[in-house]
Structures are given as C-alpha cells and as structure tokens.
C-alpha cells in the first residue's frame, strides 16, 4: 500500500455554530435518554454507537424464542432522533477516548472518525462475562445483542429440526432435546421459562418423529437460589413456578466446562455432573465495556471486579466534570445494572449539562428512585418486587406486561408487540420463527477472519474501480437490453417455444 493509500481518519470539524458539543457514546437506555434529555438545550449532540438501533434488552429472550421480531425491540436510533434537530447519529465502535484533548475515535469497517467534545456522556453498557473462560462463548452464546438473540433463535429452533431428522433415522435425540441455561438471574429464568413453553406448548403438534414435550430444560446456577436480588421468598416461589412449567432447576452447580455436545458442572460437595446438550445459553455474568478501563487509566478512577468505573456522586469522573458515565458501566453505591439506573442517570447528566450552560446551580448528587424489579416465568406468571411489596402470579404478570409495553419505543412497535403477545399467550403460536443458517454460523465465521467484517471489504481509499472492465460490462448490458427489447418489439417473444 503506498503512503497515499494509508487510510486517514475523518476528523469531524469543531462546532461551526460555536455551540457546546456533547458527545454521547451508546444508543442503549443511557445513551438514548441522555441524547433526548438535551432536546431543548442549545447544544450540538453527536450520538456514537456501534449499532444503528436502540435495543430494549429486557425483551431479547422473546426474540430468541420467536415471540417478537427484532425490529419491535430494536428500532433505528436515527429514526427515533429524526425530529431532534440538535442531534445527529454516527455509527461506529468507539476505540479510544482522549480525555486531555477531548477527542473520541470511532471506527466502522476500518474507517476511523475523530470527534471533538466539550461534554461527554458515556453509556457503553456491559457485555457478557464468562469468568475468564471466554472459550465457552463458542458453544454457549450470551444474550446481549440482536445478533445473540437471532443466533439463539436459530440454535433453539434448529435443535428441534435436527432432532426430527435424528429420530427419523432411529438415532438418539436426548442431547438435541436438552436445553441448558446457565445463570438463574432474571434473564436465565425468563429464557428457561420460555423454552419450556415453546417445547411443551407451542411446538408439540408440529413434529412427527419427536415428542417436543419430552424436551428437557435445565436452569443452572452456582448460587443457592434463583433470582437472588429478589430475595429468598420470591426466589423460592420462582423456583417452584419454573418446576411447574417443566424446568429442572439445579442450584449450587458451578459450570466447569462447556463444549459442542454438553456442559460439565461441579457441586459444592465435589460431585461432578455432565449434561449432554447441544443448545446452551449463557446468562451468568456481566463485564462492563472496556471503555471503562480506557477512562480509568486516564482519570485515575477505580474499576470494580466487573470492570465498572467508579463515578463521583454527580456521575462525573474525578477531575473531569465534563465527563459523565451512566448505566451498566458505572459503579456507584452498589446500584444494580438495570434499565432505570441508566435512564435516570442519563436524564440527570443531561439536566446537569443543560443547567451549567444556563448558569443554574448544580443538582448536587444523583438520587436513584427504585421503581422495583420483575421477571416473568411463563405466560400469566411472574414475580415482582416493588419496595416491600412482593407480588407473584397473574397480577405480577399483568404489571410486567404494562411496564414493558410502556417502555417499548414507538407506537407501531407497541401495537405489533401486543398482537404478538396475544398470539403467543392466548393462543399457542409464535409469529417469529424464521431462522437461517447464517444466523447460527455467521458469528463464528466472522470471528475466523483476522479483522472480522473489515476483511470482506476494501480499505478506505484503495478501491480500484477498474474503469475498462466497467465499460465492457456496460456494453454487455446494453447488448442484452437491446436483444430483450427487439424480441418484444418484433413479436418474436414466445413464438415457436411450444414446438421447440
């Protein structure tokens, strides 16, 4: 590659309007609510995120199990912010934050962009943690993104298809009809409950060689109870409800190995057990965005064991009042990694930025208002913990329904989600069962390329258009267009074909 061809980053010009520049990193709950919170401020907002959508993570398990479509829970961020004139959206993975020069470097398919800021709101969330066993990811995908959910949908529905073929040949199907969910937090509980409904209720009339009601769904956790943040009483209740819908719950079971065909676990008393299962789902741990480390190294802020960065009481970083960190990647007073922490933190930061520009006094410290937590177990059954109030069963499920409907973005998505829920909960159908081979194997294929998807396209500035070949192709296309038109104009189209 010649010197002229070395890809140069695009450098975003400084604000031409002279307005205060706010860069928001992330389009999840923190990023979106932060950007929207500045709608009426006299600022220029640039939202940079590695996906072009805003993801409603709490409903990912319904995409994975065919209840909802990906579009319903992941609308385009650009579309959501289209009417916010002071905001623009930039696709890219942030690879560096230079806090001294106030510059953000982002990258997409080998194209780098550097964006300057006056205030920065970082809401890059958290990814899956395999507790140092990243090799498990190949066989037990996590559930953090639309890609994850679609891959899992392909793996779950695909397992039934493979079992049908194996059964028709007289082969054993137990490993294909066993589904293991690792991690009994809200995600694991909801996922296990939905797979059980899918197998025992939705699919049982669709296959001929297998009985899907015989599918085994196992929920594992190293902890001694399910849903620890909900307390012992609700945890017990959730466990009993899960067992009622056919989920096997194994507690005190620490996963020690995962491979293509199964999972190995060790109990406290030293007993080792292996479950043969082709489909494994990992919902056990979180690791904050590596951007926390980038910021910690430059600001001296501390990281906790999940990589979350410690913020001041006003959500800024030590010595950097212009940098706010919110949501799953911040650490403050043991606040949980839930949507409301991200939303309220982002609103607080946006208000603080706006207030500073208007010369208003600071709001002081961030106060979190806990609105409670809930998790569904199956249709018509959920658990909810709201302050001292502990609810279970249908009432909790109705609350879950209303709250989730309220937070789904966009009127159209709300309407279609309700329709899909009616189909799945009142009927037994699932409208979103489409899966493809690429959904299941695309991730592994991309991981085998040195530079991922960038390997599949040319580097910026080095594409050779090969004009001569273009001209040849044009002549060829013109020739065939003329032949086609002559056939029609001369009335020869179709003539003689019957006797040919």
Ligand X SMILES: Cc1cc2nc3c(=O)[nH]c(=O)nc-3n(C[C@H](O)[C@H](O)[C@H](O)COP(=O)(O)OP(=O)(O)OC[C@H]3O[C@@H](n4cnc5c(N)ncnc54)[C@H](O)[C@@H]3O)c2cc1C
Nearer to ligand X, 41 or 46 (CB): 46
Nearer to ligand X, 144 or 175 (CB): 144
23, 45, 60, 245: which one binds ligand X (CB under 6 A) = 60
Stretch 137-156: interaction string toward ligand X, x if CB under 6 A? ------xx------------
Nearer to ligand X, 87 or 94 (CB): 94
Q: Are 147 and 248 in contact (CB under 8 A)?
A: no
12, 22, 24, 30: which one binds ligand X (CB under 6 A) = 30
Minimum gap (Å) between residue 284 Cβ and ligand X: 12
Interacting residues with ligand X between 163 and 202 (CB under 6 A): 186-187
Q: Distance (Å, rounded) from C-alpha 314 to C-alpha 98?
A: 21
Give yes or no for residue 125 binding ligand X (CB under 6 A).
Answer: yes
Interacting residues with ligand X between 464 and 493 (CB under 6 A): none
Give yes or no for residue 26 binding ligand X (CB under 6 A).
Answer: yes
Nearer to ligand X, 322 or 370 (CB): 370
Question: Would you state the structure tokens that stand for residue 47, as one six-digit string?
Answer: 């939202």
Question: Would you state the structure tokens that stand for residue 187, as one six-digit string?
Answer: 């995600």
Nearer to ligand X, 267 or 421 (CB): 421
Q: Distance (Å, rounded) from C-alpha 99 to C-alpha 117?
A: 10
Nearer to ligand X, 276 or 314 (CB): 314
Give DSSP secondary structure letters for 460-477: TT-----HHHHHHHHHHH
Q: Tell me the torsion sign for CA atoms 127, 401, 423, 241.
A: positive
Share in percent of the chain as helix, strand, coil (round to 5): 40, 25, 40
69, 93, 298, 312: which one binds ligand X (CB under 6 A) = 93
Minimum gap (Å) between residue 288 Cβ and ligand X: 9
Binding segment (CB under 6 A) for ligand X, from list 19-27, 221-229, 254-262, 312-320? 19-27
Binding segment (CB under 6 A) for ligand X, from list 22-30, 256-264, 446-454, 461-469? 22-30
Which positions ≥6 away from 8 have C-beta within 8 Å? 112, 460, 461
Nearer to ligand X, 371 or 428 (CB): 371
Burial of residue 250 (CB within 10 Å: 0-12, 13-18, 19+) is middle
48, 74, 159, 215: which one binds ligand X (CB under 6 A) = 48
Nearer to ligand X, 229 or 427 (CB): 229
45, 90, 94, 353: which one binds ligand X (CB under 6 A) = 94
Q: Distance (Å, rounded) from C-alpha 240 to C-alpha 248?
A: 10
72, 197, 328, 352: which one binds ligand X (CB under 6 A) = 328
Phi first, then psi: give them for residue 274, nearest 5 degrees.
-120, 135
Give yes or no for residue 74 binding ligand X (CB under 6 A).
Answer: no
227, 327, 348, 352: which one binds ligand X (CB under 6 A) = 327
Q: Distance (Å, rounded) from C-alpha 58 to C-alpha 34?
A: 19
31, 66, 141, 193: which one binds ligand X (CB under 6 A) = 31
Owner of token pair 């939303």: 343
Q: Are 227 and 185 in contact (CB under 8 A)?
A: yes
Q: Are 351 and 331 in contact (CB under 8 A)?
A: no
Q: Distance (Å, rounded) from C-alpha 119 to C-alpha 399?
A: 38
Side-chain half-sphere CA neighbours of 456 within 13 A: 9
Nearer to ligand X, 210 or 332 (CB): 332
Question: Would you state the structure tokens that stand for residue 224, as one six-digit string?
Answer: 């001694």
Interacting residues with ligand X between 301 and 320 (CB under 6 A): none
Binding segment (CB under 6 A) for ligand X, from list 224-232, 297-305, 331-339, 380-388? 331-339
Give yes or no for residue 219 binding ligand X (CB under 6 A).
Answer: no
Nearer to ligand X, 175 or 237 (CB): 237
Q: Distance (Å, rounded) from C-alpha 36 to C-alpha 82?
A: 11
Number of amino acids touching ligand X (CB under 6 A): 32
Measured in residues, the chain has a length of 500
Minimum gap (Å) between residue 436 Cβ and ligand X: 22
CA distances from 392 to 232, 242, 246, 373, 422 (A): 13, 12, 18, 12, 21
Give yes or no for residue 29 binding ligand X (CB under 6 A).
Answer: yes
Active-site entry in 44, 72, 151, 190: 190
Q: What is the CA radius of gyration of the chain?
A: 26
Phi first, then psi: give them for residue 428, nearest 5 degrees.
-125, 5
Binding segment (CB under 6 A) for ligand X, from list 169-177, 270-278, 339-347, 348-356? 339-347
Give yes or no for residue 58 binding ligand X (CB under 6 A).
Answer: yes
19, 39, 50, 78: which one binds ligand X (CB under 6 A) = 50
Helix H segments across 205-290? Answer: 232-244
- Cα angle for residues 432, 433, 438 (degrees, 5° grid): 110
Minimum gap (Å) between residue 247 Cβ and ligand X: 17
Question: Would you state the structure tokens that stand for residue 156, as one six-digit string?
Answer: 């779950």
Annotated catalytic, 260? no
Give DSSP secondary structure letters for 387-403: TTEEEEHHHHHHHHHHH
Query: What are the residue numbers of the active site?
Result: 190
Catalog residues that contact ligand X under the rule CB under 6 A. 25-31, 48-51, 57-58, 60, 93-94, 123-125, 143-144, 186-187, 289, 291, 327-328, 337-340, 342
């Amino acid at each position: 590659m010649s010197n002229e061809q070395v890809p140069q980053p695009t450098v975003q010009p400084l604000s031409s309007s002279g307005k205060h520049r706010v860069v928001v990193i992330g389009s999840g709950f923190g990023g979106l609510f932060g950007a929207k919170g500045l709608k009426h401020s006299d600022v220029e907002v640039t939202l940079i995120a590695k996906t072009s959508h805003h993801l409603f993570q709490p409903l990912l398990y319904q995409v994975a199990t065919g209840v909802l479509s990906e579009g319903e829970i992941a609308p385009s961020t650009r579309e959501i912010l289209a009417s916010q004139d002071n905001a623009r959206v930039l696709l890219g993975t942030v690879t560096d934050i230079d806090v001294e020069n106030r510059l953000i470097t982002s990258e997409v398919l080998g194209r780098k962009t550097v964006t300057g800021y006056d205030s920065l709101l970082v809401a890059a969330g958290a990814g899956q943690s395999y507790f140092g066993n990243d090799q498990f990811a190949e066989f037990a995908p996590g559930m953090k993104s639309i890609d994850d959910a679609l891959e899992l949908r392909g793996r779950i529905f695909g397992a039934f298809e493979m079992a049908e073929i194996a059964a028709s040949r007289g082969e054993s199907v137990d490993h294909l009809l066993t589904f293991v969910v690792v991690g009994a937090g809200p995600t694991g509980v909801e996922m296990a409950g939905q797979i059980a409904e899918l197998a025992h209720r939705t699919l049982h009339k669709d296959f001929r060689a297998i009985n899907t009601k015989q599918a085994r769904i196992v929920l594992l956790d190293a902890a001694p109870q399910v849903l620890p943040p909900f307390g012992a009483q609700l945890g017990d209740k959730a466990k009993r409800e899960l067992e009622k819908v056919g989920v096997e719950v194994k507690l005190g079971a620490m996963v020690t190995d995962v491979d293509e065909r199964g999972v190995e676990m060790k109990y406290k008393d030293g007993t080792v057990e292996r479950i043969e299962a082709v489909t494994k789902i990992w919902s056990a741990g979180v690791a904050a965005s590596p951007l926390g480390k980038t910021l910690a190294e430059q600001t001296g802020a501390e990281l906790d064991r999940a990589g979350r960065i410690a913020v001041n009481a006003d959500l800024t970083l030590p010595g950097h009042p212009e940098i706010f960190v919110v949501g799953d990647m911040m650490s403050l007073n043991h606040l949980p990694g839930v949507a409301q922490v991200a939303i309220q933190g982002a609103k607080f930061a946006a208000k603080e930025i706006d207030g500073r520009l208007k010369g208003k006094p600071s709001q002081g410290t961030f106060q979190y208002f806990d609105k409670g937590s809930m998790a569904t177990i199956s249709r018509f059954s959920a658990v909810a913990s709201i302050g001292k109030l502990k609810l279970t069963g249908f009432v909790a499920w109705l609350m879950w329904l209303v709250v989730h409907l309220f937070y789904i973005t966009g009127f159209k998505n709300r309407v279609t989600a309700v329709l899909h829920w009616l189909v799945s909960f009142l009927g037994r159908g699932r409208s979103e069962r489409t899966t493809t081979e690429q959904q299941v194997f695309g991730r592994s294929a991309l991981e085998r390329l040195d530079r991922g998807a960038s390997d599949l396209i040319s580097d910026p500035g080095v594409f050779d258009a090969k004009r001569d070949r273009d001209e040849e192709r044009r002549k060829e296309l013109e020739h065939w267009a003329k032949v086609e038109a002559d056939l029609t104009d001369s009335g020869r189209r179709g003539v003689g074909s019957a006797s040919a």
